[in-house]
Every structure is written in structure tokens, then in C-alpha cells.
Amino acid sequence: MWKNDANGSVQTGSEYERIGEESRPLLAQGAQARGASFWSSAFNLMNAIMGSGILGLSYAMANTGIIGFSILLLVVSSLAAYSIHLLLLLCGKTGINSYEALGERAFNRPGKILVACTILIQNIGVTVNSTMSTYLFILKSEMPAAITGFMSTETSGKWFEDGVTLLILVTLIVVLPLALLPKIGFLGYTSSLAFIFMLFFTVVVVVKKWSIPCPLPINSTVSLSLNTSECTPQMFVISSKSAYAVPTMAFSFLCHTAVLPIYCELHRPTKQRMQRVANVSIFLSFVVYLISALFGYLTFYTHVESELLLGYDTYLPRDVVVMSVRLAILLAVLFTVPLIHFPARKALLMLCRGEREFSWLFHSLSCFFVLTLVLLLAIFVPDIRNVFGVVGSTTSTCLLFVYPGMFYLRISSEPIRSLNSAGAVFLMVIGLVVGVLSLCVIIVSWVQGP
């Protein structure tokens, strides 16, 4: 018989074993409830994939070359889709549909605790990108400038110039109500808005390529360089800075903490349908990433900033469209926070309560606890990414590469020479390489200083 709980975890009895693996649906929140639509789920997954890290991809292209970047991006997106494929295969084989429960199935209770702690560390805020505290810190730092940029007169001492005040307000007014929603499927509407904002960013990057001349001007009359070779795009680039680009790209498709919660609430949640959701989300994210990175690079070439919008601020000061894009990116980041909050809260509840019936009391308490924690981190610990960067790079690598491969090898009964088992081993090797490279990049950054 099927057994459901409010967190979406599914267990099966002897009746389940008689159901074909390819047609086993996962039920969420009751058999009669209609789940989230295909596109609502796809928008949620795209929102989990794309974040402020999109601003650094042009810099990554400048340090790897157009063809080099395209190959790396294609490889990373394919590996992300394949690791999701392995997770969904395990769901089909076991009837389990939560990351934490897969860890428990593979390594008993220590595995469950390990996965839950990894998700908490990843989503609360000790990694370089795509965490709640990182996004809230970005909002605190950038919102005052984004708002005052539209003011025609000089302002000073206004309440909206205080980043902490603005951060607390948007958290209470926007983030908290969305985070309190019991189902991740409800966030499909805000996720679609976030994707539209990312499309707007991409369109503006394409259009503004023809607004900034090359060689880049220092001011309206003087060029930065008379050497027009700087305006020649590079196809392949290998340098010490290339090592910095690889971790950025490797984690640009990290969405695995949200995959299974989205799977639980998908309407007609079969493995094939969820795989199509993942493929569509990763493909559209790939297209947006590639176009924005390409035209950002073709605008500034070797002078592209590590955060793309800084270049536009330098050469197109107080441009209304650029200021609108900055605000759009902030809104996209704002709508991403509740989505990242969902798996973090679920992991906390799995650690504290296990798989029990839904309770509004514990749901609300865990929601307030997580949001309060990340808000305090964003306000009082601005250097948390430097302090815990090593831990963050490790958790990202584990969630994206290591855990899917390791769990598949542990749970699946397929021989090691089978295609999926070989792919699982390959994922683990890639995870080890990327993890070591990320640690080296962080250590070198510490040694070199700001």
C-alpha cells in the first residue's frame, strides 16, 4: 500500500513491488489532489537553477573563450541532467521521493542526517552562490542603490537608503508569506516572474552590445586602448583565471535540492514526466546562460567585470534601462529565496521530526527559524562566504555530483559495468575533480586577498 506524509515522502509495501518501474506514479498530499502543472514545475526548477550567478558567466567566458565556455557549459548541463536522471531512477526503483530518504536507504540514519545537513548548509548560506543568506545580502547591498538610481534629485537620510531596513521589510512583506506556503508548487507564479526578469536581463545585454563602442572609452572622447585587437573575441583561453571559471560554471545548474520536492507535487508525477520537466528547465537555462554570457563578453571583451552589471554602470551611467535591469535581477533574486527556503525547511523538519504528518505549528516554527537565521547572517555576517567557502564548495559538489552517483551505486542492484553504474562512477570522479579545484581556488583567493 502507498503511505504518504505531508512532506511528500512515499513508502511502499508489497503491493508496490508488483507495479512496473516505469509507470510508478508518486502521490503527494492525497491521491485526489491535482498537483502542479508541467510549466509551473518547470518554472520552479528554472528559478532554482538561475540566480545572481548569471552575472558572472561573461567573466567566465572571457577566461575560457567562446568555444571553451560553450563546451564546458554543455558538459555541465548534461551532467546535471544525468544526475537528476539517476535520482529519478532511484525514486522509481524504491518508491522514495526525498533526497534525505534516499540517503537513509543507502546508508541508514547516518545517510539521512548527512544529506539533511548538507542541504541545510547549502541552502542557508555558506556557499558562493544560490543561497538564502547570499541572496539576502545582495538585496541589502543593492536595493538602496537600485531605488535611489531612479530619483531625479539627490537624496540623503531617507529610510529607503538603509539596506537593513529595506531587507527586513521585503523579508516580512514578500519572503515570509511565500515561505509559509505549504507546497512548493504554489511558487510557480513567482518563479515564472523571476524567469521573465532573467529574460529581460538577457535581452538588454544583447541590445546594449551596440551601445558601447570598442575599444572601450574611458570617457566620452578618450579610448581605453587604440589596439583594436582587444575587440577580437577569443575562441579558447587557458590561463590561471580559467580555474576560477570552472567552479562558477560547475555550480550554475545546481538545483538538486528542489528536484524531488517539485517531483512530489507534479501533476501525474511519473519519472518520465519529471525528467521532461528537468530537461526543459536545464535547456532553457542553458540558452539564457549562453546568450547573456556571449553578448556580455562581446560588449567588454577582456575588460568584462566579474559582475557584468558593473561594466554598464561604468560606461552607461544612470542609463534607465540598465537601472531597470538591476532592479529586475534583484526582484528575481527576491522570488528565488522562498524557493530555496522550501528544501532547507524540509531538511530541518526531517532532522527534528522525521517523516510525520503535516503540522502547521512545526511548519511555521521551522519557517520562522530558518528565515530569522538567514536574515541575521545577511545583516551581521557579510563575510560568511569567505569564512565557510570550503564547506560550501564541498556541499555543492556532493549534491550535484557525488551523492546521486554514490546512492545509485549503493541502492541499485545493477552490475558495475552497466551503463548507469559506469555513469554514476563518472559523476563521482567529476565531483572529486571539481571539489578539489574549488578548494584550490578558494585557498588561492584567501592567500591573494581581496
Could you tell me the residue range of the domain that residue 395 belongs to? 2-13+35-448
Report yes or no on 102 lying in a domain: yes
| CATH classification at residue 310 | 1.20.1740.10
Angstrom distances, CA of residue 200 to CA of 34, 142, 255, 288: 32, 18, 22, 10
Domain count for the chain, please give it: 1
Residue 27 lies in a domain: no
Of 116, 314, 110, which Cα lies nearest the Cα of 208?
314
pLDDT per position as a tens digit, 115-133: 999 888 888 865 445 578 7
Is 132 contained in some domain?
A: yes
**Is 337 among the domain residues?**
yes
Please tell me the predicted confidence (pLDDT) of residue 23.
39
Is residue 108 a part of any domain in this protein? yes
Verdict on whether the full-model pTM lies above 0.75: yes
Task: Using the predicted structure, report yes or no on whether residue 395 has a pLDDT greater than 70.
Answer: yes
- Weakest-pLDDT range from 18-27, 89-98, 122-131, 165-174: 18-27
Q: How confident is the model at residue 389, as a pLDDT? A: 56
pLDDT attached to residue 200: 94
pLDDT above 90: residue 43: yes
The pLDDT value given to residue 4: 40
Read off the pLDDT band of 6 (50, 70, 90): very low
Confidence of residue 33 (pLDDT cuts 50, 70, 90): low
Whether residue 267 is contained in a domain is answered as yes
In a domain, 147, yes or no: yes
Alpha helices in 95-215 (DSSP H): 99-124, 132-148, 163-170, 176-179, 188-207
Window from 51-65, 240-254, 412-426 with minimum mean pLDDT = 240-254
Region 299-316 average pLDDT: 84
- The grid coordinates of residue 290 equal 549562453
Residue-level length of the chain: 450
Please indicate, yes or no, if residue 21 is contained in any of the structural domains: no
**What are 181-215's pLDDT values in tens digits?**
988 888 989 999 999 999 999 999 999 988 888 77
